[in-house]
A and B are shown apart, each in its own frame.
Chain A
Amino acid sequence: MKRQKTLETNANNSNLFDLLSEEIVFTILDFIDTNPLDRKSFSLVCKSFYITESKHRKNLKPLRQELLPRVLNRYPHVNHLDLSLCPRINDNSLNVIANTCRDSLNSIDLSRSRFFSYNGLMSLALNCKNLVSIDLSNATELRDAAAAAVAEAKNLERLWLGRCKLITDMGIGCIAVGCKKLRLISLKWCIGVSDLGVGLIAVKCKEIRSLDLSYLPITNKCLPSILKLQHLEDIVLEGCFGIDDDSLAALKHGCKSMKALDISSCQHISHVGLSSLIGGAGSLQQLTLSYSCPVTLALANSLKRLSMLQSVKLDGCAVTSAGLTAIGNWCITLSELSLSKCLGVTDEGLSSLVTKHKDLKKLDITCCRKITDVSIAYITNSCTNLTSLRMESCTLVPSEAFVLIGQRCQFLEELDLTDNEIDDEGLKSISRCSKLSSLKLGICLNISDEGLSHVGMKCSKLTELDLYRSAGITDLGILAISRGCPGLEMINMSYCIDITDSSLLSLSKCSRLNTFESRGCPLITSLGLAAIAVGCKQLIKLDIKKCHNIGDAAMLPLAHFSQNLRQITLSYSSVTDVGLLALASISCLQSMTVLHLKGLTPSGLAAALLACGGLTKVKLHLSFKSLLPLPLFEHLEARGCVFEWRDKEFQAELDPKCYKLQWEDIAQ
């Protein structure tokens, strides 16, 4: 605010900014990027600032399509248009964009916008000759005609068509012929596309760098032409069930330029097929084999030749100790390894692996339930450079082991200890990791305020803290965090039942907070939330489910201050019609979960829904369906809102200890 004032005075006094060239002001503006509101403030200072800001802006992410004509006129130099916040973009809007932006537009994101057709795409493609990037993901209604329209964008380099289920080979064929400069194409879930379409892409678009073919009904027939692509670097074949070993064996040569390969969930590819697929791909750096072939000695040996390999993801694979040992014997050192949810990871295998790969930066051993403190000792001993360690639910690791993590791996930035035996001693040790930015301590029943205070005092870079169901935490711990970690952006205190308003009052000093979850904290009231609303203006996501003491009194300041709020969960709270209607004034609000609100009447709900123009997703109790007129829902759906109906009974909250027991029952 201070800076703005100085700027203002400068502008008024014979306008010193006139002395600065436009480029210099632009450079200054480049630095005002952290908070979108700052730019707004700048542009509102004076006319010349307004014009400067209009000229400077390159990216635009509008909320409403109806304002597009004016917005586009104001910002003539926009080249990237992100419409993912507009649930409803129709052909008219696209026509307006096409005719206003013309050749300046080179990138458009329509991934969340339905309601447009090939007409709009055609005018976009014909008018915006410099368009290089189009994201059409989730356009489930588009057919081949739309693809043919896209094919008119001759300079297109990047195209996302994820989940365009109605597009077939014919449409893809048009794109392949029309967009010769394509470098990236994602066809994930385009289930109408088969070998023929993909093959044609490979034949016609020689510039392809990145190819996402996940879950396509393709077979080996299209692979030879794909592997002949000179520049192919990244290929994703996740869930391509039609590809199997037998026909992979026929592939004579691999792709030399390939850097990343993902064959997750390809059930019919074993190490035999894999080795023929990567044969000759000497520059492979990333390999993802999640949920595919078992990690055995044979697999590990077949990957031995990949001398550039840096990252291997084996999530959900069956793993043998011999396989892990063999990976340890590779002559390269990996920097990233993921073994999450792998069955068969033992102390023996893991320790022999990590002793060789000393340069590991990221390690994921989530749900490796057999490992003990032995593994942790080996990991911390050899991989001292770890920046990310995820070890959710390693339940056999005793509390003492966590002390080792803090002692030896001090470069950690991300640590996931959800559902572990860590205690205050461990936390105290971990607080030595001064670079820690993300710490997840969900369902850690042994920790208390004392341990958390250490983290708060030393880990000043913390941005993300998860305390879900860590019931030992009270206001003291939160106070330490909010004092020590001013950059906190996300906090989850759900079901920490002892939290009161004083926690919220202290957290309101963390002005960057954008995600606040305090489900099932019965002691917090409207007063605390109002403080958050006033202090944390960047709040985007708010979850106050089952906070019975929060009512309309909190909604009014929220509606007034939290103009960035996009997602709110109000179920089981004491909010009524008044609060809900007040929230409707938040123009960004997109998602709302409104279940079991006692004070909510059908007409109040209807009014709020109608007033809240940007809604894209609303969760409601099934009973409202019959209480409100059907045309209302049809109208809202036509605006781009999706309704999810829930039929759950009113649930009383369980005791945290009891929850854990129940959860373990399910897990076993």
Chain B
Amino acid sequence: MEPKDRLSLDAWANPSSSSNGLPRKMALENPSFTNFNLRQQEQKWDDTSILDYGIRIEPPFQEFNQASESEYLLSSNCNKQPKVLDQEDGQDNEALQTSKLQDWDPRSMLNNLSFLEEKIHHLRDLVHLIVGRKGQALGGQDQLVTQQQQLITADLTSIIVQLISTAGSLLPSVKHTLSTGTPNGQFGQLGGLLFPPLAGMNCVPQPQHGSGSKVSDQCNQMDVTGNCGTEQNHSTEELEMKEEEDADEGENLPPGSYDILQLEKEEILAPHTHFCTICGKGFKRDANLRMHMRGHGDEYKTPAALAKPNKEPSSEPVIIKRYSCPFAGCKRNKDHKKFQPLKTILCVKNHYKRTHCDKSYICSRCNTKKFSVMADLKTHEKHCGKDKWLCSCGTTFSRKDKLFGHIALFQGHTPAIPLEETKGPHASCDKVDGNEASNKGGNTNFSLGFNAGSGSGVQNVIEVKEDADDPASYFSPLSFDTCNFGGFHEFPRPPFDDSESPFSFLEAP
């Protein structure tokens, strides 16, 4: 819960910060740099934030009541909050996920909920009050009204953020992008609902939307949700990228700005990288080792011992580490002219196995595809055998519609009928030669034996057939009365019934 709370605080801090004027806003414009500012802001508010959010919120608003100009800045900034939140989430992603898993506590959840309830009550009273006053309709009190609206807006935002963080803690298993993504969506919508009173102000062009989203004409809601969308995409992309070895392809770190580490081959291929100092057992993952360590005594059960090492936020800039492949001549080797470093140890491992090791894992389905990384094999096996849609050009497709799209696109390509369907035993390959047929490229499977333009092939086929029918053709048609009806194959053949047997299973098709 803790980091989440902190986040919501960050978010919270923003509206008030806008009272500081443009500089703060500038910071928001460029999301990638907000963290620093936020951190300051966070410290600033931490002191007051312990007991009641309500109290905490009001002071900043009173501050900027006089500055009417900054008011709509606030409104627009409010809309941008989710983005900020998201940004931060995206960055602290991993850290959060692990800690959240462990930190979930029903009691704190209960606290949160009761806090929410209280908050909503408070807000309702406030709105009641406004409704009461609205009846009197005092013309000169514009300022007061706006102020109240700001208050409500702020309160609601607080509730929502709180709700999101509470809900988010319940979803530890869900990918982090989801837990931030969806609430943001909601938030965006809510934001849109909340702000209509300020609609007039929102019409002001908002050049501060610097995050690549189009400048919104009127509708704030649209804008916010749009932003959320892009943010989400961005974060999922990031996750996917991490899984890829070549994620650092476009990184372009200047040489020398990072440390290069090079593991030895044995080290890379070792099944375990983390070893228990007490019993010597090996683990693939650091976290597993820490879990294991708990069994060795209470001293390993403290939060400090269980925490992920080297992840404490330190003020000094972290030295970026990159990895080099030990294989000489490899592009990933640091001595290569166009050296491209590998980002993580996992990347090194996968790269080394894929590029410089034997492919020892063979797909059990097709028995042809080989892999050196187990995960690759598993990915392949999921789809192996599904490429059953075949074009005459030899291309296979996993989906029929893809095949048909392909055929529709290219002239002369045609669907290839699977071999087992033609199932002609007469279609022996030796008849094909010499019979050059007109279907170039078409029907690779099918044309065997049937291209017989001159008919010689066809006659061959007939001969084969008659042979196949032999058992049934022993009997003259007149032997009807005497023949044995019990024997299935022994039924007489009618005089006119030529080579084809009544028992069609003897036949090919």
> Which A residues have a C-beta under 8 Å from some C-beta of B?
64-66, 90-92, 95, 98-99, 115, 117-119, 122-123, 126-127, 141, 143-145, 148-149, 151-152, 154, 169-171, 173-174, 177-178, 196-197, 199-200, 203-204, 610, 613, 629-632, 634-635, 637-639
Contact = CB atoms under 8 A, between A and B. Distances in A.
A613 B400 CA distance: 45
Contacts of B415: 144, 169-171, 173-174, 177
A118 B452 contact: no
Nearest to A65: B496
29 contacts: A66-B498, A91-B461, A91-B462, A91-B465, A91-B500, A92-B465, A92-B498, A95-B459, A98-B455, A99-B458, A118-B422, A119-B424, A119-B426, A122-B450, A123-B450, A145-B509, A148-B417, A152-B439, A169-B415, A170-B415, A174-B417, A177-B415, A196-B404, A197-B404, A204-B408, A610-B480, A630-B485, A632-B485, A638-B497
A151 B439 CA distance: 10
A13 B462 CA distance: 49
B494 A639 contact: yes
Contact of B455 (A91, A92, A123, A610): A123
B502 A634 contact: yes
B500 A169 contact: no
B413 interface: yes
A95 B414 contact: no
Given A95-B462, A143-B509, 13 more contacts: A90-B498, A92-B465, A95-B455, A95-B459, A118-B509, A119-B458, A148-B417, A151-B414, A177-B442, A196-B400, A196-B401, A200-B404, A610-B480
B508 interface: yes
Contact of A177 (B412, B496, B503): B412
B408 A92 contact: no
In this complex, the interface size class of chain B, counting residues with CB under 8 Å from chain A, is: 35 or more
Nearest to A121: B450
B294 to A, nearest CB: 57
A177 B451 contact: no
Contacts of A638: 497, 501-504
Contacts of B123: none
Q: Which 3 pairs from chain A and chain B are nearest by CB?
A: A638-B502, A117-B509, A173-B415
Given A64-B496, A126-B451, A170 B417 contact: yes
Contact of B502 (A141, A200, A635): A635
B455 A127 contact: yes
Contacts of A197: 404
Given A92-B462, A95-B462, A119-B426, A631 B485 contact: yes
B262 interface: no
Contacts of A200: 404, 407-408
A634 B501 CA distance: 11
Contacts of B500: 90-92, 115
Interface of chain A, main secondary structure: helix
A169 B402 CA distance: 13
Given A95-B458, A126-B453, A173 B496 contact: no
Contacts of B401: 196
A468 B450 CA distance: 55
B421 interface: yes
Nearest to B491: A631
Contacts of A66: 496, 498
B327 interface: no
B72 interface: no
A174 B414 contact: yes
A119 B461 contact: yes
Contact of B496 (A174, A613, A629, A634): A613
B443 interface: yes
B499 interface: yes
A145 B422 contact: yes
A177 B414 contact: yes
Interface in B441-477: 442-443, 446, 450-453, 455, 458-459, 461-462, 465
A634 B491 contact: yes
A135 B492 CA distance: 32
B227 to A, nearest CB: 31
A575 to B, nearest CB: 24
Given A119-B509, A173-B414, A635 B494 contact: yes
A66 B493 CA distance: 14
B421 A144 contact: yes
B437 interface: yes
A64 B442 CA distance: 36
B509 A149 contact: no
A635 B455 CA distance: 31
A148 B451 CA distance: 12
